[in-house]
Amino acid sequence: MTAISTNPDELDDATAIDELDRRFHQMRAASGEQNTPTLDQRREDLTALAGAMFGFRKQIQEALAADFAVHPTQLTDLTEVLGVAGQAQYVASQLEEWAAPQQRFVDPQSFGTATAEIQYQPKGIVGVLSPWNFPFLLSLGPLVDILAAGNRAILKPSELAPASSMVLADIVSSTFDSDRVAVVTGGVALARRFAELRWDHLLYTGNATVGRQVAVAAAQNLVPVTLELGGKNPVIVHSDSVNEETVAQIIGNKLAKNGQICIAPDYCLVPRSQLEEFIELSISHTFTTMPDYGTSPDCTGIINERHLRRLTGALDEARQRGVKVVDLKPNVEIDPATRQMPLTLVVDPPEDLAVMNEEIFGPILPIKPYDTIDEAVGYINSHDKPLGLYIFTRDSHAAQTILDRTASGGACINTCAVQGVLPSLGFGGVGSSGYGRHRGVEGFREFSNQRGVVTRGTGDTTAAFFPPYSGHAQQIVDAVFGETAG
């Protein structure tokens, strides 16, 4: 006998799973004849998406404010509205060049006048599982690449940002035919089912634990997967750059969205002899530029109580262990209604603390002293390869040397996180921060079947590969290796 759930979330998910299956099969039927959209159609899709971002601007702002309790409207405009619209416009302007077949070298001695090229063909139907932190940018951003490559898509946004998910569904249903792009909303049961479908490509953005589960589910159907994961992004501050500008860049990037960005600086490696100077600069920067940070509308709320408890718990642990904790906004009681958490520095924490062995994803900045650049590089290399790596120095040779000796999905010199906002630059992780790319020509190619096509000409040696091999094949072998001794 099948158990019937009385949990309303599970019942909702059961309905959502039926809806997902129905939409998936509808899309599969519509895509059955390889009716590849023309480049003009794709550009129309991208232009429509850009227009929708402007049209839905107010709803997007309200949804993010509802999901995060507090979300600066300017940040919403810059990242979610303009981020998606700008990417769509940029990709539309590049599409002709990116989609053009790429001629490849053919050795005339072997293949005569044959030609060879890579043709870019849509993969088909792409599934997108996206997280709560940028509910529009991380679903509709990849959709830009997916549509540019001529695919269809079903998006499953995060259950942790329900107001944004509803607006996302409205944007998509008012902009695209339902057999081209659709949104399904629901919880973890729906997300699990989503990962089990026979997609032509699956994109998952989120944490590594679920990322592994998604990759395993997709492997059952040999579905290719792009995993956009997180991790701890290090910052190396060189001794020549402990100054106000460096601190403004690091703290500013940490506090955009209150640290809830996958490419935010996670921790800082600072020369031991300049540790106090760095801390003083951080304090004075925060007090002068953001005296009311923690209560002002510029301070994004932490997404939910569970994450707030996780972050305050990590600070409590550091305090209990006697680690120096610098409150940059002392004596602020966090209002549970706004979940606005001020920035805190944790100085030289031991490795077994949560702030050093888990991704922080919030307004806590551990500062770890180092004595030599070799030691700082060694520390980074003894941990998982990060999504982002940031180097602050005036010495370009020193910066390149650090880049050469480390690996990360992306990197910046003298800033942080900008590698994740340029629509021209492929974005993604390496090792445990993920694999595959979206954005840029890399994103277009990720969602394309990069098909190698050869057209035979004249004067080739193809027949040499066919049996019997005593004739032409033997002549070639003899010409290259010398006549075989009797």
Write out the catalytic residue numbers: 228, 262
Closest CA to 301 of 275, 339, 268: 339
The interface with ligand NAD within residues 246-275 (CB under 6 A) comprises 262
Footprint of ligand NAD on residues 384-403 (CB under 6 A)? 387
Asked if 324 contacts 305 with a C-beta cutoff of 8 angstroms, the reply is: no
Torsion of CA 335, 339, 345, 347, to 10 degrees: 90
Residue 157 burial (CB count, 10 A) = 28
Task: Pick between residue 85 and residue 203 the one whose CB is nearest to ligand NAD.
Answer: 203
237, 394 contact by CB (below 8 A): no
Name which position in 228, 258, 285, 444 contacts ligand NAD (CB under 6 A).
Answer: 228
- Residue closer to ligand NAD by CB (options 290, 387) is 387
Q: Determine phi and psi for 157, rounding to 5 degrees.
A: -75, 175
Residue 434 sits in the site that holds ligand NAD (CB under 6 A): yes
Q: Nearer to ligand NAD by C-beta: 349 or 386?
A: 386
H or E segment and range at residue 201? strand 201-205
**With CB under 6 A, what is the number of residues at the site for ligand NAD?**
30
Contact residue for ligand NAD among 145, 200, 359, 446 (CB under 6 A) = 359
* Residue of the chain from 27, 50, 138, 218 that contacts ligand NAD (CB under 6 A): 138
Q: Which helix (H) or strand (E) holds 285?
A: helix 275-289
**H or E element in which residue 113 lies:** none
SS3 128: strand
Instruction: Tell me which amino acid residue 175 is.
Output: T
Q: Which residue is nearest to ligand NAD (CB)?
A: 230
Provide the sign of the torsion angle of the four alpha carbons 276, 279, 281, 287, taken in this order.
Answer: negative
d(CA 151, CA 30): 11
Give the range of 45-53, 150-158, 289-297, 444-452 binding ligand NAD by CB under 6 A: 150-158
Burial class (CB in 10 A: 0-12, 13-18, 19+), 422: middle
129 lies in the site for ligand NAD, by CB under 6 A: yes
Give the distance between the most distant pair of CA atoms in the chain: 94
168 binds ligand NAD (CB under 6 A): no
Toward ligand NAD, which CB reaches closer, 157 or 363?
A: 157
**Rounded to the nearest whole angstrom, what is the least distance from the CB of residue 343 to ligand NAD in the complex?**
19
The distance of closest approach from Cβ of residue 373 to ligand NAD in the complex, given in angstroms and rounded to an integer, is: 27
Six-digit token string for 124:
């088909």
81: DSSP letter: I
Name the minimum Å distance from CB 292 to ligand NAD: 28
Residue list 89-128, contact with ligand NAD (CB under 6 A):
none
Cα torsion 326, 331, 335, 336 to 10°: value is 60
* Least distance to ligand NAD, CB of residue 258, Å: 14
87 touches ligand NAD (CB under 6 A): no
User: Taking Cα atoms as reference points, which of 473, 478, 142, 163 lies closest to residue 301?
Assistant: 163
Residue 225 interacting with ligand NAD (CB under 6 A): no
Shortest Cβ distance from residue 80 to ligand NAD (Å)?
A: 13
Task: Return the number of the residue (158 or 393) whose C-beta is nearest ligand NAD.
Answer: 158
Nearest-approach distance from CB 469 to ligand NAD, in angstroms? 52
314 binds ligand NAD (CB under 6 A): no
Binding site for ligand NAD (CB under 6 A): 129-133, 138, 156-160, 188, 191-192, 195, 205-207, 210, 213-214, 228-230, 262, 359, 361, 387, 429, 434
